[in-house]
Structure 1
Amino acid sequence: MLHVLADLLTLGVAVAISPIAMVAVILMATSGKGRTNGTAFMLGSYLFCIVFVGSLVVIGRSAGADDEESATHLLIDAVEVALGAFLVVMAVRQWQRRSHTGTPQWMNAIDGMTVWKAFIVGILISGPLSPKDLPLLFAASGRISQAELVVHEVVAVVLIFGVIGVMAITIPWLISVIAPSQVEMRLSGLRDWLIGNHAVIMTVLFLILGAKLIGAGVADLVS
């Protein structure tokens, strides 16, 4: 199980490094809603990750993905290469948009969000609306599906992967819980930096992750 988690570590950290999600939690924290809305946002992100990955793993293993000679195993490798190519294309698009540093409109509505809306936004930003996270979650699901693990190990890997995926947004959330009076001082600079450098950060991430997925997929196909 440990070797699978080690293989997934890069993907999990990449999921965690989400400037938009981090800015959303920081905005909730600086508006005084870090303990409630921030918690709901984080739970939404975590639940989407483990349910999405877990569902794909069940489908993959039911189709025989853990058998190295199966067509499903090879298909997952091919999909991984395709996802890597998609991320490289997204890197180019992000670089072209690097001069757009304005605050997205949806961020202005965070102050008025209810707990349930924050929960839903956490789900959406962590998957359906994220061009970075969905390919990574697909890739992680494929890796777990292919691994020779028993059921309880699969469950543990999915749950731990979900924890890794929300590690970055737990930092501003913890600050809002432990030291709410220092939130503005500690997080306002990080918030502005993430907004201003979002495109460049995502460009670098997309390139590195795209290369990793292409390399890993091709290596598995030819081995």
Structure 2
Amino acid sequence: MLAVLADLLTIGVGVAISPIAIVTVILLATAGKGRTTGTAFVLGCYAFAVLFLTILVVIGRAARTDEPESGAHITVDVVEIVLGLILLVLAVLQWRKRSSHEPPAWMAKLDGLTVVNAFIVGMLISGPLSPKDLPLLVAAGGRISQASLALWEIVAVILIFSLIGIAAILVPWIISVISPGSVEARLSGVRTWLMANHAVIMTLLFLLLGVKLIGAGVADLATLGGGS
């Protein structure tokens, strides 16, 4: 189990470093809503990762991706390579947007979010609306489904990996819960910096993670080819 988590660590950190999600938590925190809608947002991010990974692993196990010589196992490796290539394309697109520092228009509506809506926004930002996180979660789900682990170990890996994936947004959320009066002073500078450098940060992440996924998929396929 530890070996699988170590293999997934880079992907988990890549999921965690999400400027838009971090800025969203900071905005909710500085608006005095870190303990309510901020908490719901964080839980939404975590819930989506756990649910999505669970579905992928169930599908993968049903297709016998844990058997190295199976077609399903090879398919996961090919999908991983394709996802890596997609991330490289996204790196180029993000680099072209590096001069834009404007926050998404929907962020202006965060003050009016209910707890339920904040939870839904968290689920959307952590996957369906994220060009980075969704491919990474798919890759992580494929890796977990390939691993020869007991059921309890699979559950533990999914829960721990998902926790790693929200580590970066937990920091401002914890500050807003423990010390709500100092949130603005502590986090306003971070918020400004993240928005100003969002495109560059995402470009580097797309590039590094794209290379990581391509390398891992090719290495796995090469190992299978060498073993046959």
Deviations 1:22-54 (CA, angstroms, capped at 9, x unpaired): 000000000000000110000000000000001
Q: CA deviation at 1:199?
A: 0.3
The aligned counterpart of 1:155 is 155
Number of residue pairs aligned between Structure 1 and Structure 2:
223
Q: Distance in 2 between matches of 1:114 and 1:152?
A: 35
Q: CA deviation at 1:104?
A: 1.4
For the pair 1:166 / 2:166, whether they are aligned, the reply is yes
The aligned counterpart of 1:124 is 124
For the pair 1:115 / 2:109, whether they are aligned, the reply is no
The aligned counterpart of 1:9 is 9
The aligned counterpart of 2:36 is 36
Within-5 A mapping of 1:87-102: 87-102=87-102
Task: State the AA in 2 paired with 1:63.
Answer: A
The aligned counterpart of 1:70 is 70
Q: Distance in 1 between matches of 2:55 and 2:197?
A: 34
Q: Distance in 1 between matches of 2:68 and 2:143?
A: 12
Task: State the AA in 2 paired with 1:94.
Answer: Q
Q: CA deviation at 1:130?
A: 0.2
Q: TM-score, normalised by structure 1?
A: 0.99
Q: Distance in 2 between matches of 1:6 and 1:202?
A: 23
Q: Distance in 1 between matches of 2:55 and 2:102?
A: 36
Q: Distance in 2 between matches of 1:136 and 1:14?
A: 8
The aligned counterpart of 2:212 is 212
Q: Distance in 2 between matches of 1:136 and 1:173?
A: 23
Q: Distance in 2 between matches of 1:162 and 1:203?
A: 23
Range with greater deviation from structure 2 (70-79 or 95-104)? 95-104
Task: State the AA in 2 paired with 1:153.
Answer: E
**Percent of pairs with identical residues:** 65
The aligned counterpart of 2:226 is none
Q: Distance in 1 between matches of 2:104 and 2:138?
A: 27
Q: Distance in 1 between matches of 2:109 and 2:124?
A: 15
Deviations 1:71-101 (CA, angstroms, capped at 9, x unpaired): 0000000000000000000000000011111
Runs of 4+ in 1 over 4 A off after TM superposition: none
SS in 2 for 1:35: coil
Q: CA deviation at 1:159?
A: 0.6
Q: Distance in 1 between matches of 2:25 and 2:206?
A: 22
Q: Distance in 2 between matches of 1:128 and 1:166?
A: 16
Deviations 1:94-138 (CA, angstroms, capped at 9, x unpaired): 000111111211111011111111111000000000000000000
The alignment yields a C-alpha RMSD, in angstroms, of 0.5
Q: Distance in 1 between matches of 2:219 and 2:104?
A: 39
Q: TM-score, normalised by structure 2?
A: 0.97
Contiguous gaps of at least 5 residues in structure 2? 224-228
The aligned counterpart of 1:146 is 146
Contiguous gaps of at least 5 residues in structure 1? none
